[in-house]
Chain A
């Protein structure tokens, strides 16, 4: 049986892991390669490196960080942040990334999804969607959550799939950093609209939130950052909890 995936995200700036609360107020949280190695021992299923300042400051994901992490863990590794062109994606893949995550660039140039899917396969292309509730829908934001893209998350996720995306990484901007739980309604809306896996992100505060998003939220995977970094939630304990609640996980 296909298990639900637990993904640790490392928001990286200048080679260090940081975590923003509502995309601001960054604080230092550790060395990426050391943290990744710790997660591997704890049983994490996947690791994401997000170069959080790349879009705004026009910096590309740091190849050194990718290389250092990929040398320590033999798990699927995704890199996002600052992937704007085919060359950016190639640099990340060459450094050891298995997947690249496109956000702002995919909205600006949707053909990039298809280009990368043709070159590396759909399994290597994640489209990341940052969205917040607006009326009955979910408004997509770009440029690290600073600009309204005038798109609806469900409709954009469908288009991304049609263009060749292999997975959707859906972040609730309303919940990000709040520790109040994933936005299960938004996750369900997107997960039920596409046939590719949806990774829920934003708001994880405790083990029960993962349980919720895998059941009520229809998520295929769930991503968190700060609670794993700080040790508030330990990955192995989280997985035992999920198994006790009859959710299939890799132990």
Chain B
């Protein structure tokens, strides 16, 4: 069972519809204490980084503890930005800090009519092979809508260019994130969600195997 964290940042209808279409079982935990009964976590989110202030405190602790315990985590859009240390959009609100680096505002490029927000379909430039990118053929296009973006660091497995290059997909161990909206990115997006579901199942299988070994 996947926990879809609802912290009031945007509408989750689309994510729910996509997960349902893929046959995933999910629920929205009512409190941080509930997290321990889920095998994977999805932190979605649209809007201002300040909205993640709702996660500061018990939620943040519970999510961090679950990830430390090996539970796969998938951040979407604002949820991915939250995996980093913080964002210039809301400097006083700390991120989860699982990935080093800070989210900054896209600059765009007025001369070349590159506007901010970055809205639309853009290509993924795969920087290394990753579980979250399995079965995707370049140049995969996905749907973005955002004004802030995370830096290209070691965790970045696919970058996208909009004036500057930023991290479009991150993967570090069992922590995954995408800046775009897989639930709105047609076949490519559904494949990425499917890849996370596979990673989540693999993690459950490994945990089960280890328990049997004991």
Binding site for B on A (CB under 8 A): 1-5, 40, 45, 70-71, 73-76, 93-96, 98, 120-124, 166-167, 191, 195-197, 218, 220-221, 250
Besides A123-B46, A197-B115, A250-B141, 10 new A-B residue pairs in contact (Cβ under 8 A), listed by A number = A1-B122, A3-B141, A45-B143, A74-B17, A74-B189, A74-B190, A76-B145, A121-B46, A122-B117, A218-B113
- Alpha-carbon gap, A94 to B181, bound state (A): 18
Nearest to B183 among chain A residues (CB) is A74
How many chain-B residues does the 8 Å CB contact rule pick out?
36
> Which residues on A sit within 8 Å (CB–CB) of B47?
120-121
| Contact between A2 and B117, CB atoms less than 8 A apart | no
- Most chain B CB within 10 A, of A1, A93, A95, A218, is at A1
What are the 5 A-B residue pairs with the smallest beta carbon separation, nearest first?
A: A250-B141, A121-B47, A123-B145, A250-B121, A3-B121
**Interface flag for B10 (CB, 8 Å):** yes
- Alpha-carbon gap, A4 to B17, bound state (A): 26
- Alpha-carbon gap, A124 to B181, bound state (A): 13
| Contact between A2 and B186, CB atoms less than 8 A apart | no
**Interface flag for B48 (CB, 8 Å):** yes
Among B21, B121, B141, contact of A74 (Cβ-Cβ < 8 Å): B21
**Interface flag for B36 (CB, 8 Å):** no
Nearest to A96 among chain B residues (CB) is B13
- Alpha-carbon gap, A250 to B190, bound state (A): 16
Nearest to B141 among chain A residues (CB) is A250
| Contact between A167 and B186, CB atoms less than 8 A apart | no
Instruction: Report the minimum CB–CB distance from A188 to chain B (whole Å).
Output: 11
- Alpha-carbon gap, A197 to B116, bound state (A): 9
> Which residues on A sit within 8 Å (CB–CB) of B46?
120-121, 123-124
With A71-B17, A94-B11, A120-B47 as contacts: A1 and B117 at CB distance below 8 Å: no
Among A2, A95, A96, contact of B121 (Cβ-Cβ < 8 Å): A2
Binding site for A on B (CB under 8 A): 10-11, 13-14, 17-18, 21, 46-48, 108, 110, 113-123, 141, 143, 145-146, 161-162, 181, 183-186, 189-190
| Contact between B18 and A45, CB atoms less than 8 A apart | no
Among A5, A70, A96, A191, contact of B120 (Cβ-Cβ < 8 Å): A5
Instruction: Report the minimum CB–CB distance from B18 to chain A (whole Å).
Output: 6
| Contact between A123 and B117, CB atoms less than 8 A apart | yes
> Which residues on A sit within 8 Å (CB–CB) of B145?
76, 123, 166
Nearest to B22 among chain A residues (CB) is A74
With A1-B161, A120-B47, A218-B113 as contacts: A197 and B14 at CB distance below 8 Å: no
- Alpha-carbon gap, A166 to B47, bound state (A): 12
Nearest to A73 among chain B residues (CB) is B186
With A74-B184, A75-B184, A121-B47 as contacts: A2 and B10 at CB distance below 8 Å: no
Among A2, A71, A221, contact of B162 (Cβ-Cβ < 8 Å): A2
Among A2, A45, A124, contact of B118 (Cβ-Cβ < 8 Å): A2
> Which residues on A sit within 8 Å (CB–CB) of B21?
74
Nearest to A45 among chain B residues (CB) is B121
- Alpha-carbon gap, A71 to B18, bound state (A): 9
With A70-B17, A74-B184 as contacts: A2 and B120 at CB distance below 8 Å: yes
> Which residues on B sit within 8 Å (CB–CB) of A93?
11, 13
- Name 9 interchain pairs, CB-CB below 8 A, sorted by A: A1-B123, A1-B161, A2-B162, A5-B120, A74-B184, A96-B14, A96-B17, A197-B119, A221-B120
> Which residues on A sit within 8 Å (CB–CB) of B117?
122-123, 166, 196
- Alpha-carbon gap, A93 to B115, bound state (A): 25
| Contact between B113 and A121, CB atoms less than 8 A apart | no
> Which residues on B sit within 8 Å (CB–CB) of A250?
121, 141
> Which residues on B sit within 8 Å (CB–CB) of A122?
117
Nearest to A192 among chain B residues (CB) is B113
| Contact between A167 and B119, CB atoms less than 8 A apart | yes
> Which residues on B sit within 8 Å (CB–CB) of A74?
14, 17-18, 21, 183-186, 189-190
